[in-house]
Amino acid sequence: MKRFIGFVKKEFYHIFRDRRSLFILFGMPIAQIMLFGFAITNEINNVDIAVLDHSKDATTQEIINKISASKYFSIQQFIERETDIESVFKKGKVKAVLNFEKEFSKKLIKENTATIQIITDATDPNTANTISNFVNSILRNYQQELNKDIKITYQIVPQTRMIYNPELKSVFMFVPGVMTIILMLVSAMMTSISITREKEMGTMEILLVSPLKPFQVIIGKVVPYIFLSVINAIVIIVLSVFVLKMPVQGSLILLGLESVLFIINALSLGILISTISKTQQTAMMISLMGLMLPVIILSGFIFPISSMPLPLQVISNIIPAKWFIIILKGIMLKGVGISFIWKETLILVAMTLFFMGLSVKKYKIRLE
């Protein structure tokens, strides 16, 4: 046991004396959370639009007021001619133009229909979609107000309710993803690098010719990083709750335990990587390419898994990050307990045991 503590102490010296790695270790999570939280967002807010009002009557005025009153849009300018539509888009000043037809009120009353054209700049398809949805819903509301006194015989009224994230805040989607990426990278990359560094420096040779047992070396390498990753996880959760207003509906203890499970999973992956790579550089490349890309692309963090082609959907099952994101979203947004996420937890446990078993088996007690 004294040997083991001595080894762990040595690992902490390595970590704290390597200022640059330490900076990455703690700087990266903060920078990433802030970036994803504030800069990268697919919400719309105060989108500039232009209005081409051919009728200028009471009804159009009312609709325009309603739209400009919402926080999503700000009317940037009024244009007078159809030909101006193209030019305002080309100048890039507005993202959408609302085009009211002539004699809007009159038609609405006499013919019961009037048309409004919504033209959006679809160079950014997501934004364009969101804009048209929002305008549509404002118009629908207005229509219901108009029809309030009239009895329509058959009517289907869809009532949409977005639950768990009613305001569709993108932060809610990014935080679990970013937390997963950071924990995966920090844990797996740092451990694999620290083990291969011993190989590269030749100190592994001396460690092998010593009474230290393989599992003591491995656990000794892992313990400091479990400690650091837990601190990282805490920093991320605190930041997202207090700065990004991310809710944690479920139990904090469960969240903590699941995070520790995922950290150990990532660490055992890191050890596995170190057993197959000889240099720090290979270890880093494998960690970055082999872990980062699947975590970003296949975990359902950015692209929904259900819309992937079937082979990729199957592959996504072996990505631990996928299961951890499901767990995180469950606890943080839905507030579920272990009874709803035991399956995902079990999968992570099984994966961890598999990686650990494989690494201990692959760990060489000799040089070749």
Binding positions for other proteins, rule: CB under 8 A: 2-3, 5-7, 9-10, 13-14, 17-18, 201-203, 205-212, 365-368
CA distance 184 to 298: 14
For other proteins, the closer of residues 107 and 197 by Cβ is 197
Q: For other proteins, give the closer residue by CB, 140 or 362.
A: 362
CB of 215 to other proteins, least distance (A): 14
Whole-number Cα distances in Å, 252 to 165, 204, 235, 238? 19, 40, 14, 11
* Long-range CB contact pairs, 15-23, < 8 A, 24+: 15/224, 15/228, 21/190
Considering the complex, state which of residue 191 and residue 259 has its C-beta at the smaller distance from other proteins.
Answer: 191
Q: CA-CA distance, 330 to 77, in Å (whole number)?
A: 44
Q: Quote the CA–CA distance of 182 and 229 in Å, as a whole number.
A: 9
Question: Which CB, 12 or 354, lies closer to other proteins?
Answer: 12
Q: Which is nearer to other proteins, 176 or 224 (CB)?
A: 224
- Between 165 and 216, name the residue whose CB sits nearer to other proteins: 216
Query: Whole-number minimum distance, CB 27 to other proteins, in Å?
Result: 20
- For residues 77 and 246, give the distance between their C-alpha atoms in angstroms, rounded to a whole number: 36
Q: 250: helix, coil or strand?
A: coil
**Which two tokens mark 279?**
């240099």
Residue 210 Cβ vs other proteins, minimum distance, rounded to whole Å:
5
- Collect all residues with Cβ–Cβ distance below 8 Å to 198 and sequence separation of at least 6: 204, 207
